[in-house]
Structure 1
Amino acid sequence: MPPSVFQCRSLVSLKLDTNCLTYSPSTSGCFPSLKYLHVTFRDYINERRVKIFLNCPALEDLTIVENVGGDVLELNISAPQLKTLTTDNLDCKFFVDAPRLENLNVNIDWPSLTSNYVLDNSKSLVKAKVHVKYIAPKHKHRYPSYVPNISKLLAGTSSVKYLTFLAPQYLEARYLPDYENLNQLELDLRCFCWDLVIELLKKCPSMKHLILNLHRTAWNHDYKPVNPPTLVPGCLSSHLKTVSMRGFHGEQEEVQVLKYLLNYGEVLNKITISTRNFVGNPACLTKEDLCKEILLFQKGSETCQVEVI
């Protein structure tokens, strides 16, 4: 690309698909008027250290997609006006300095041990979605643990109000920050890890809304059922107002989760159970049996309504 493109003052939106990108940023910055930038890196890019994001003064919306083999990319993103950042399949080292960042969507697909994700100066963050590639339990031994590599990324999301974790069973409580401002938490569960979920709830003392996306593969024989914990996170007794359980199949562990939330949710207003993909079998309850059993569960909140849809 000619240097004039990087300094063009009339360029507001750019979509770039490339495997060759060399740029030495000038002191005056890059893309002075650009607000929307979508970059897809293809194949083996010629430069590992990508510099076009170093100083983009007007950039508000940035999407980076990687389809790159070989070494890990190094990305430094400095954009004082950036509000939305989306990355997909990005195995890299990235450092983000975006004081006005409000929306973050990160899809991490098979990161290497050298990957590193750092969010700096992210106090304005409102919504964050972190998707970690799911690995079936029988294949997990083939891949090294990369949870520590995203710990700095998670630390940078501590100010969010709305947080979505996909495949959170790979997370560990010690890598999670305290989410003092969190209003809504959404978890995508392929196995129910009591310890992790309870630790998450403990770190979200003011959370009002909880969404659990349940997958049938979550309740399989690779995970041994355990008794619900006796520990009750503070948000259950003081703040949690609504719970949504999506993809409910009536498996024993799912019912156990429902019973726990009903029992200890002292200020709950409503629990919604979605059974649209409900498939009965000898090991599961029928819908009718489920509704009857729920009526017998002890409730911590007398005003809590349970809706089965």
Structure 2
Amino acid sequence: MDEEFLKFLKAKYRERPPLTYLITGEDLISKLPDSLRLEENVYADDASLESFISSCPVLEDLSILRMVEDNIKVLRVHSLTLTSLDIDFYFGENDDMVDDFDTKHSEVLIDAPRLKYLKFQDDLSESKVITNSGSLAKVNIVYVFNENDCADVVDLPRRNMVRNFLISISGVRDMKISGHFVEFLYCNMDFDPLPQFRNLSRLKAKFSLYFVEILPTLLESCPNLKSLVLVLEFDPSKEDVQIKFSSVPRCLVSSLESVEIKYFNGKPAKMEVARYFLENSGVLQKLVLHLRCSTLGEGFCILRDLLALPRGSSTCRIVVC
């Protein structure tokens, strides 16, 4: 336990005699929280929040909900015990305070060698840096790189930051990415290839049909993927977009066993996605489709068309739910 922090706690306990003489280091540790949620707070400065987090000797689960007025420019999370971290940002109702957040020189710096789970939600900080990420096993990336501003990807320092961030999470086994992050990857892939996620066995990704053609490129970076969940955008105005996949990544041939597609309605674009996996997956065991149709007859027609598609794996089952 940190000596200064122990002295601080003992001083606080001395305000409540006669229990003071019973206090030991073990007693204090048993009373300290291993889980914290810091929600919409205002801090004295960057250093005060950093010191508070690092002074919690048994902290394992930390959730931080920031806001524009929290007085934090650089969020530093340094902990030797932390195993789970969730960072979110409140921008007001309908995100009406987004423009009030000054991203210039804003950073998130994470140094937690025991960290296993990381979730970035609405955080617009200019830079994200993770060190000592060897224990990281699961990540959930929602909105992390100002994804809607794709012009920034040509900026070399920003590209380097993004590359280093992706490398730092490339050892995970389970990853979930949002449509915002997929859009950012779509803009960025012409400049820098994705690192190899060799340990990744499960991926869940949300796709707009406009960006689904990068799917082979994304999967090429996951050579040992076993399970894929695709959440395909449900937007009637985009259902007739023409989709053509450029290649067949290694994982489709040798490792991918399960594919799940949500919001599947049998329209040409989504049928092409299903055909791509059925035809090219050599070891696929099941294709699960969450059907969206207006009538029972329409559902039977979709199922008929699916069963007529050629299959690369003789053991593949089509499951409709």
Normalised-by-shorter TM-score class: 0.7 to 0.9
CA distance in structure 2 between the partners assigned to 1:294 and 1:223 by the alignment: 18
Partner of 1:227: 244
Over alpha carbons, which structure has the higher Rg? 2
Q: Percent identity?
A: 24
Q: Supply the RMSD in Å over aligned alpha carbons.
A: 3.3
Match of 1:120 in 2: 131
Aligned with residue 176 of structure 1, among 185, 189, 194 = 194
Q: CA offset at residue 178 of structure 1?
A: 1.3
- What is the CA-CA distance between 1:300 and the residue it aligns to? 0.1
Please list, as runs of the form range in 1=range in 2, the aligned pairs for 1:61-76 lying within 5 A after superposition: 61-69=61-69, 73-76=73-76
Question: When you count helix as a share of all residues, which structure comes out higher?
Answer: 2
Q: Kindly state the Cα deviation for residue 195 of structure 1 after the two structures are TM-superposed.
A: 4.4
Please report the TM-score for the alignment, with normalisation by the length of structure 2. 0.74
Residue 169 of structure 1: how far off its partner (Å): 2.0
Alpha-carbon shift at residue 225 of structure 1 (Å): 2.0
> Structure 1: 5+ residue runs without aligned partners?
12-30
- C-alpha distance in structure 2 between counterparts of 1:120 and 1:9, whole Å: 33
- 1:200 corresponds, among 218, 223, 233, to 218
Against the structure 1 CA distance between its residues 195 and 291, is the aligned structure 2 distance closer, same or farther, given a 3 Å change threshold?
closer
- The answer on whether the counterparts of 2:239 and 2:268 sit within 8 Å (CA) in structure 1 is no
Structure 2: runs of 5+ lacking an equivalent: 13-27, 91-102
Q: 1:306 to 1:279 in 2, by over 3 A?
A: same
Instruction: Report the alpha carbon displacement of residue 287 of structure 1 after superposing the two structures with TM.
Output: 1.4
Matched, 1:108 2:122: yes
Q: For residue 10 of structure 1, report the CA deviation from its aligned partner.
A: 12
Is the deviation greater in 295-304 or in 69-78? 69-78
1:246 Cα deviation after fit? 1.1
| TM-aligned CA deviation for residue 249 of structure 1 | 1.9
Q: Say which SS state the counterpart of residue 57 (structure 1) adopts.
A: coil
In the TM superposition, 1:1-309 aligns within 5 A as 7-8=8-9, 33-42=32-41, 45-49=43-47, 50-52=49-51, 53-69=53-69, 73-89=73-89, 92-109=106-123, 111=124, 115-132=126-143, 145=152, 148=159, 150-167=162-179, 168-171=182-185, 172-173=188-189, 174=192, 176-217=194-235, 220-221=237-238, 224-229=241-246, 231-275=247-291, 277-279=292-294, 286-309=298-321
Distance 1:54 1:116, change over 3 A: farther
Normalising by structure 1, report the TM-score: 0.77
Kindly state the Cα deviation for residue 70 of structure 1 after the two structures are TM-superposed: 8.6
CA contact under 8 A between 1:127 and 1:160: conserved in structure 2? yes
Tell me the alpha carbon deviations over residues 174-197 of structure 1, each in whole angstroms, 9 at most, x when there is no partner.
363211000100001123524432
Q: Distance in 1 between matches of 2:270 and 2:5?
A: 59
Per-residue deviation at 1:69? 4.2
- Count of paired positions: 273
- Aligned residue type for 2:244: N
